[in-house]
Amino acid sequence: MQHGAKCSRPIGARCFDIEPGSKTLYHSAVVVASNFLPVLAAMAVEMWQAAGIPEPLIHDMMHTLARNSVDNVLALGPKDALTGPAARGDRAVVETQALSIGECDALSRDAYDALSALATRLARTGRVRDA
């Protein structure tokens, strides 16, 4: 685009007021919403690879699970889109999975433990923040 040229299509920006002291928290939420899904996808792919799942199947599973998860969050909201052992309160399965993940990567296990605790809280209270 030439300097000074006008863009002919809108970019979808939304303007709103935000308290100066909340800007860092706002930007942190943007990072969580946009950057952490790829991190979680990479974790899942690497675990499937370590489990010996064929690459074409990994691609298909990631496509299906990610699409369904995003669609469910948008349609139902985070609490009602939640599935899995933490949502069911199945602590034994959560712990077994955490041990398995820890055998592959300690930091991934830490992430799994933290996210499972948040999923349990979300399922129980409808919030991830401690009220």
How many of the other CB atoms lie within 10 Å of CB of 110?
Answer: 13
Tokens of 81: 């889109």
State the pTM of this model: 0.83
Per-residue pLDDT band for 1 (boundaries 50, 70, 90) equals very low
Q: What are phi and psi of 53, to 5 degrees?
A: -75, 135
Domain ranges of the chain: 26-76, 82-131
- Compute the distance between CA of residue 13 and CA of residue 54 in angstroms, rounded to an integer: 41
Give the pLDDT score at 10.
74
- Compute the distance between CA of residue 53 and CA of residue 65 in angstroms, rounded to an integer: 15
pLDDT digits (tens, 9 = 90+) for 90-131: 999 999 999 999 999 999 999 999 999 999 999 999 999 987
What number is the average pLDDT over the span 45-63?
97
Q: What percent of the chain has pLDDT over 70?
A: 93
